[in-house]
Chain A
Amino acid sequence: MRHLLAIEQLSREQIEAILDRAESFAEVGRRDIKKVPTLRGRTVVTLFYEASTRTSSSFELAAKRLSADLVSVKAAGSSVDKGESLKDTVATLSAYDPAAIVIRHPHAGAAQMVAEWTEAAVVNAGDGKHEHPSQALLDVYTLRRRLGPLDGTRIWIVGDVLHSRVARSNLIAFRKMGAEVTVCGPPTLIPRGIEALGCEVVHSLDRVAEAEVVYALRMQRERMRESFVPSLREYAASFQIDTRRLSPRQLLMHPGPVNRGVELSGEAIDSPQSLIAEQVAAGLVVRMAILYELLAGGERPAPLAKGEDVAQPTPIGQPA
């Protein structure tokens, strides 16, 4: 794997290799000294053209845990503000000979273009409404730890699919892992033709009890001004996931940040079946695994795993 640009480009085996690697990094996180020397002397650049909290911070921390030198560039206050083109910015940063460039950009295909312009490995940390592959990987990781293999698992993705790169990457990743996916939301927020990705489309939560996992998407307030939904109140009445609609055996996920009281009720967020906090924790180890696979990976085993007693994940239903 040379770059991580889109989940669409990964095979199930490649996804599993990254998740297995992430399992081994989970152990590092339990040590007093949470750092491994793998990327010592190598440079990771994060280039964020959009606001981000969890994705940027977890990539940055992942690079540091792997002992890489880190350069973080945010669009605001940088040369980007002064009208520099993406191509020129990448050329400038490439002068530091980075091993990897992690890029978030408001437009689809940006990471792919960067990959053509640099020698570095490129990680897509979200490109427009297209893909967010590291999010999909951490979500599959989180679910796999809980449920084991996802073959036949029924997953519902609920909400604003139209504007969500997470929805696209997760739908593709869940399908690759063998899950059955249903997308649910108002017709105005479901892209025409999404069935091409191998999912079922429904416009009501009536059958949500069929789902083993409910993955809620963020509902942005500006959508109502563009008449995608008449009001957040009406949206919530039809599509909010609350403890009334969610049965205790169902798992709940959300990519964050949550609009409490819109797509999720406060109760649901704080319920024991919510995996939201686990998703955030998974973000760090999965992003370490991504950087490792791209920069030190190949077929070699993770050096830290040698002779280590790597803890196995606790299967669902057993006491942790």
Chain B
Amino acid sequence: MSLAELLDVRPAEPANVVLRRATVLDPVAGIDGVHDVVVRDGKIAELAAPGEGAVEGVEVVDAEGMHAFPAFFDPHVHLRTPGQEHKEDLETGTRAAAAGGYCGILAMANTEPPVSTAADVAALREQARAGASIPVGFLATVTRGMAGEELTEMVELREAGALGFSDDGLPIANARVLLRALQYQRLCGGTIALHEEDPDLSGEGVMHEGPVSAVLGLAGVPSVSESTMIARDAALAGYEDARIHVQHLSAAESVEVVRAAKAGGVRISAEASPHHLCLTDEEVRSLDPRRFKMNPPLRSESDRQALIEALRDGTIECVATDHAPHQDEEKEVPFEQAAMGVTGLETAFAALHTELVLPGTLELGILVERMAGGAAPFGVPRPTMVPGAEANIALCDLGAEWTVGEDGYESRSQNSWCAGRTLTGRVMITFAAGQVAFRLRSFSLGVAA
């Protein structure tokens, strides 16, 4: 099954392009070499020898020195629709994703109102078919209105096309409610994605609890707020043999809990965000909420190292941006009052390439694998470079330097944690569901033959 069949996207012409002499890297398929990538009718027709791909009736792109990866899949995006279209909508959010090399994203359900009924899902899917540049899947809330009390009509929501369930933004504080949802999952399927924090332990916290919060006088969110909830929920999932996905891991303790749960046979997957993999709570000393206030908060260097190690060994199987757009007026206020969240779709790959791959911390192949690792936990086929597959390709120039924000953003919001940073590695073209979803403005097609 292709992304176009499973998710929703605005129909467009199928691509007919040859990526001449691209370095093709798909670690999962075992592909690593220079090829002419021939895309015909939206499918990868062949990986031909360099310079030998058939060019009749196709655009030719000189991709020498560039990398063609399976395009990325983000299981955690806030498209803010319905209700907060001033921050993002389906068009701007999917344009941002396409610019970041993504061929598919999952939209969170914590909108206004939350996505809690089949009608909500149906309306969003229709909007996506009208305006989404890349395929979008929608999650529905686990509890009605995200109130944490009653379950949504999960069977009907699945029939309407909800890819899974999440109350993301809020934890499901009541263990009995979550247990019922996990039991009910047997009827309807659909992975339940969990925002893990103990609301009592998090309290009024706005950053990681540690020496930096002590100095700044900001209320802290202790690491155990996250890890104790994951421990609880992993135990519940194991008890019911249910399928859960834990969102945005931030703490070393959480990594340990997930690792132990996996070893114990629990059906659990996990994600980490680029900002938690690249930054620590030291950044908060700037008291800049636009770039450094999010939930979960940036944690210590040892937490960051634990996340990187878990990404490397597969305890964390995917990168998820938790792309959370906010407008200036929600961020141009003192740190404690500012909205939580940063955008990430346009910079995820470039940031991780710059911060982890170039210094030698993480292998490029592992990063490429984890960038698309968010599909499988939700039953979405992993993007691949294998001939015959639907074209889902990110063509990247790993040597290109660019300064984030200099040319504006595709997103409607500007709260990028990378704002002002110079990154190395840039997405030049994105193919999603067989269509050309993005091409860098300064990068023209059809220049070489």
Contact = CB atoms under 8 A, between A and B. Distances in A.
B217 interface: yes
B217 A108 contact: yes
Contact of A193 (B210, B287, B333, B334): B210
B335 A196 contact: no
Contact of A108 (B210, B222, B329, B334): B334
Interface in B189-215: 209-215
B216 interface: yes
- The interface centre, meaning the residue of B215, B287, B334, B336 with most chain A CB atoms within 10 A of its CB, is B334
Contacts of B287: 108-109, 112-113
A191 interface: yes
A60 interface: no
Interface string B325-342: 000010011111100000
Nearest to A107: B334
Contact of A192 (B220, B332, B333, B337): B220
A107 B213 contact: no
A194 B213 CA distance: 9
Interface string A185-224: 0000001111111000000000000000000000000000
16 contacts: A8-B215, A87-B332, A107-B336, A108-B287, A109-B287, A110-B334, A113-B333, A113-B334, A131-B217, A191-B217, A191-B220, A192-B213, A192-B222, A193-B211, A196-B211, A196-B212
Interface of A: 8, 85-87, 105, 107-110, 112-113, 127-131, 165, 168, 191-197
A168 B215 contact: yes
Contacts of B335: 107-109
A86 B334 contact: yes
A127 B218 contact: no
B334 A105 contact: yes
Nearest to B220: A192
Given A107-B337, A192-B209, A113 B215 contact: no
Contacts of B220: 191-192
B248 to A, nearest CB: 22
A270 B215 CA distance: 32
B329 A194 contact: no
Interface of B: 209-218, 220, 222, 287, 329, 332-337
B334 A128 contact: yes
Nearest to A49: B334
B333 A196 contact: no
Contacts of A193: 209-215
Given A130-B216, A165-B217, A108 B336 contact: yes
Contacts of A112: 287
A192 B332 CA distance: 28
A191 B332 contact: no
A122 to B, nearest CB: 13
Query: Would you list the 3 A-B pairs with minimal beta carbon distance, nearest first?
Result: A129-B217, A193-B211, A109-B287
B92 to A, nearest CB: 24
Contacts of B333: 85-87, 107, 113
Given A86-B334, A128-B334, A108 B213 contact: no
Nearest to A194: B214
B332 A85 contact: yes
Contacts of A194: 211, 214-215
Given A110-B334, A193-B211, A193-B212, A130 B329 contact: no
A165 B217 CA distance: 7
Contacts of A108: 216-218, 287, 334-336
A85 B329 contact: yes
Q: Which of A86, A107, A112, A168 has the most CB of B within 10 A?
A: A107
Nearest to B210: A193
Contacts of A197: 214-215
A131 B215 CA distance: 9
Contacts of B217: 108, 128-131, 165, 168, 191
A295 B347 CA distance: 43
B334 A196 contact: no
Nearest to A113: B334
Contacts of B215: 8, 168, 193-194, 196-197
Contacts of A8: 215
A109 B334 contact: yes
A168 B215 CA distance: 7
A172 B216 CA distance: 12
Contacts of A85: 329, 332-333
Contact of B334 (A127, A131, A165): A127
